[in-house]
Amino acid sequence: MRTWQTTKMLALCATLSLIACVELQAQQKPNVIFFLVDDLGWRDVGCYGSQFYETPAIDQLAKEGMRFENAYSTCHVCSPSRASILTGKYPARTNLTEWLGGRPERDYEKLHHGEKITALPDEEQTLAETLHQHGYATANYGKAHLNRDPTTYGFDEAITGWVRSYYHPFSPKYTKTLPAKEGDYYTDKLTDAAIDFIERNKDRPFFVHLEHFSVHDPIQGRKDLVEKYEKKLATMPPQEGPDYILEPNPDGAAISAEKLKTLEENDNSTLHQNERVWWVKQKQDNVEFAGMVEATDESLGRIRAKLEELGLEKNTIIIFTSDNGGMAASNQYRGIKHPRETLDSRFSSSNLPLRGAKGWNYEGGIRVPLIVHWPGEIQRNSTSTAIVTGTDYYPTLLEMLNLPALPDQHIDGRSFVPALKAEGYERGPIYWHFPHYSNHGFQSPGGAVRSGRYKLLEYYENRTVQLFDLRNDIGEQNDLAESKPNIARKLTKMLHDWREEVDAKMPSPKTPPYQDTGHHAS
């Protein structure tokens, strides 16, 4: 016969066992590091084809994980794409469609910018909030760019702000939040903060959202690495082709080769604005940018070394990607007849063979590197051609972590775990909507849809459409809108139906209304 003392002791043991079991389960939950680089282009990484930038840590991650060839951001600028990662929703659905801040309208623009919100809404249940609810320690370091402190979106800790210099002092805000001294480089100090968080939370599952401000301008490499690339560039044979080309606005009258050549010879900002043409860099030879890329690569290497030191490497998922395409076009208009130092501060990289740059819906603006490292679960050194986009990380991570899906939240996302497992996977079409004028060129506001091998772009000033077969024309040079009208009509309807479904806000015509002079899908 049990005494009450015995019963109490058994109950206490059961409770302690339960607590120990829960703690053990918590320790066994995989950690997550989401390594997001600002403005890193698809070709700015060694394993994606760069012959100038050196990225040994990123390349090693690809050798131990899966590299994706058809990964996209949900927008060609930062804030909307970052919001999609955290919400699982397209920018058009949340109406966070522009980088927060944006730019004022200009006289030459025929349309008023589309309506937009100015911060990520509180009612969104972010990925960070969900992981926090499941026992994760959460931290955000770097460029959140959602107009509120990341701690309001489910992060336990955050160090964020806008960088004015990559050398200390970085900006007034960072002076208060990121310990540093003269000579310290921002990318290194941000890495220090992430490593410190990992060390402090090594005994519980953690989610680190490391949003490096690098490689965004100001283009300012770490001095030792810049010297390295100056020496490297001096020993390299000259690269073939032009340094820069002028890219016309496709939503306007065609520009002849002769006129384009004249515009190239007349490096005049007013003339180029009137003709709606923009300089695009064609070579990877910016030593300052190269130094920024390698410093970011070192950051990944340091974090992986710390994980290995703590015995966490095999229980940590790492996702490495970018928020949009590379900045082959300057952030503000600058001609190219300037000292090299001026050019290097504005034109960072080349996206070739992709067309265009950050700020455009061509592949150079939206196709991004993506590497997933999931130890023991996916084939090492593998490559996937699956189409994925920024909305997909939320449901994918929940499935990877064996957590319940939230379909009402990540409504636009699709888990690509089947692709990671090398199983049959068909993502379906993906969409873009940008009802604003970009500060990376004079292109019209517009949208796009990719379905399978085909991608259609629609511009909103004159309703011009372009159709490309990405399987055979990754550089988007051969417009098939007129030769394949049935496909153009089908994709145009898909894009319009999708905009209606998500209640996408459109730009409105100024007075007088624009003239419909573009070519159309018939």
Full set of structural domains in the chain with CATH: 30-234+284-428 (3.40.720.10)
Residue 117 tokens, joined = 């919100």
Task: Report the 10 Å Cβ neighbour count for 504.
Answer: 21
Residue 388, SS3 per DSSP: strand
* Residue 205, pLDDT above cutoff 80: yes
* Residue 100, pLDDT above cutoff 90: no
Region 142-153: what's the mean pLDDT? 91
Residue 174 tokens, joined = 């960072």
Burial class (CB in 10 A: 0-12, 13-18, 19+), 256: exposed
Residues 191-202 as b or e (16 or more Cβ within 10 Å = b):
bbbbbebbeebb
Report the distance separating Cα 157 and Cα 172, nearest Å: 19
Sign, CA dihedral 254-257-259-260, equals positive
Region 444-471: what's the mean pLDDT? 97
Residue 151 DSSP code: G
Please give the radius of gyration of the chain, using alpha carbons only, rounded to the nearest integer.
24
Region 464-477: what's the mean pLDDT? 98
Q: Rounded mean pLDDT of the chain?
A: 91
| Least trusted range by pLDDT, from 90-104, 300-314, 375-389 | 90-104
Task: Please enumerate in sequence order all residues whose Cβ is within 8 A of that of 284, keeping only pairs 6 or more positions apart, or say none.
Answer: 43, 44, 50, 51, 52, 53, 290, 349, 350
Task: Say if residues 519 and 486 touch (Cβ distance below 8 Å).
Answer: no
Residue 521 has what pLDDT?
40
Please report which confidence band the pLDDT of residue 512 belongs to, taking 50, 70 and 90 as the band edges.
low
CA 48 vs CA 43, 114, 119, 260, 353: distances in Å: 5, 35, 34, 31, 11
* Residue 94, pLDDT above cutoff 60: yes
* Residue 17, pLDDT above cutoff 80: no
Region 297-312: what's the mean pLDDT? 98
Residue 19 has what pLDDT?
46
Query: Residue 388, CB half-sphere, CA atoms under 13 Å: how many?
Result: 30
Residue 518 has what pLDDT?
39
Closest CA to 138 of 25, 22, 33, 23: 33
Please report which confidence band the pLDDT of residue 522 belongs to, taking 50, 70 and 90 as the band edges.
very low
Residue 98 tokens, joined = 């522009």
Region 118-126: what's the mean pLDDT? 93
Residue 9 has what pLDDT?
53
Residues 371-396 as b or e (16 or more Cβ within 10 Å = b):
bbbbeeebeeeeebebbbbbbbbbbb
Please report which confidence band the pLDDT of residue 196 belongs to, taking 50, 70 and 90 as the band edges.
very high
pLDDT tens, residue by residue, 252-277: 888 999 999 999 999 988 899 889 99
Residue 184, SS3 per DSSP: coil
> The pTM is what?
0.92
Region 195-222: what's the mean pLDDT? 96
Report the distance separating Cα 247 and Cα 441, nearest Å: 9
The contacts found for 195-198 with CB under 8 angstroms, 24 or more apart, are 195/302, 195/303, 195/306, 197/137, 197/139, 197/141, 197/157, 198/303, 198/306, 198/307, 198/310, 198/312
* Residue 513, pLDDT above cutoff 60: no
Report the distance separating Cα 346 and Cα 334, nearest Å: 8
Sign, CA dihedral 387-390-391-395, equals positive
pLDDT tens, residue by residue, 230-248: 999 999 999 999 999 999 9
Task: Please enumerate in sequence order all residues whose Cβ is within 8 A of that of 262, keeping only pairs 6 or more positions apart, or say none.
Answer: none
Task: Report the 10 Å Cβ neighbour count for 401.
Answer: 18
Residue 27 has what pLDDT?
54
* Residue 494, pLDDT above cutoff 50: yes
* Residue 362, pLDDT above cutoff 80: yes
Task: Say if residues 187 and 212 touch (Cβ distance below 8 Å).
Answer: yes
Residue 176 has what pLDDT?
76
Report the distance separating Cα 66 and Cα 236, nearest Å: 31
Residue 4 has what pLDDT?
46
Residue 101 has what pLDDT?
81
CA 480 vs CA 39, 433, 466, 483, 488: distances in Å: 29, 21, 7, 5, 8
C-alpha triplet 413, 417, 419: angle, nearest 5°: 105
Residue 193, SS3 per DSSP: helix
| Least trusted range by pLDDT, from 35-39, 239-243, 288-292 | 239-243
Residue 95 has what pLDDT?
96
Region 23-30: what's the mean pLDDT? 63
